[in-house]
Amino acid sequence: MNRASSAGLASDSFAAGFSAPAAGLATHADAASPTQAHAGAHAAPVLVGVRNLHKWYSGVHALKGVSLDFRRGEVVGLLGDNGAGKSTLIKILSGVHRPDEGEIMFEGRRVQIGSPKQAMELGIETIHQHNSLVPTLSIARNLFIGREPLRFSLCGIGPMNQARMSRDAEIALANVDLHLRSADALLGELSGGQRQGVAIARAMHFKSRLLILDEPTNHLSVKETDKVIGFVRGLSAQGVTGIFISHNLQHVFHSCDRIVAMARGEVVLDKAVSETSIEEVTELL
């Protein structure tokens, strides 16, 4: 993992109000418990729903009639072994693939998500374990990739507004308590956890409503993992719906309101954290 240089690119934490205590995951006494959060989330309206989703890949039935609801301000842990169907479900929600059967509902209306751009227009953002950031570009450029502000435009083409990107990037990073030397520094100078912080800042700056985190703690140090988990725990307070994909059951149970487990393309468990256990999930998977 790359570490920040001795020039002091960042402080020790990001996600103010979200970050976990340095003592570890089990010490979140001041945060709302997953049980309390689920009680509020359960009463919230459905933001995204999928109904009877099916997907085939060259004869392989990857999704078999999946139906799920994701409510506003709810954080759902999505679990399953490789090949369980969770990646296919996420790719459908993020516009990478289309379902062969079934429908997607957004705030009660049926939608077609035909591309990642359409997903982003709905407010659906995905942070991958190998996030789609470019190390050779500046932090500010990475934050605005694909959505660069222009100084002026002619038919949508024009010079980028570098000053605005730098200024807005500083604000976006500060909003998740990620304090870097300069938003114009190269992304490649940041550590893995700091890069995830930039990806999270980007999602929050563009007002994401559904934030999908696909194995965001892979290859991070214990301290940086704690920070990401702290952020996930704070999504509900921001009114953001979250889907947290991880093979680490401890992380999921400490940060999510609800657990959804998949196996062989089907949902095999859908329960509040308070109604299930790591042992039950392990047996199903």
* Annotated domain spans of the chain: 34-284
Assigned architecture for domain 34-284:
3-Layer(aba) Sandwich (3.40)
Q: How many angstroms from the chain centroid is the CA of residue 233?
A: 12
Secondary structure E strands in 1-72: 46-57, 60-71
pTM of the entire predicted model = 0.77
* pLDDT value, residue 256: 94
The answer to whether residues 266 and 64 touch, using CB atoms and an 8 Å cutoff, is: yes
Rounded Cα distance between 245 and 79, Å, is 6
Q: Quick one: tokens of 72?
A: 């506003």
Run means of pLDDT, 10 residues per run, the chain, 285 residues: 39 39 37 46 84 94 96 95 92 95 95 93 85 87 86 82 90 84 90 83 85 85 82 85 92 93 95 94 88
Q: What's the sign of the alpha-carbon dihedral 246, 256, 29, 277?
A: negative
**Residue 186 forms beta bridges with which residues?**
138
Q: What mean pLDDT is reported for the chain?
A: 82
Predicted confidence at residue 247, as pLDDT, reads 87
Tell me: the pLDDT tens digits for 10-29? 333 343 334 433 334 433 33
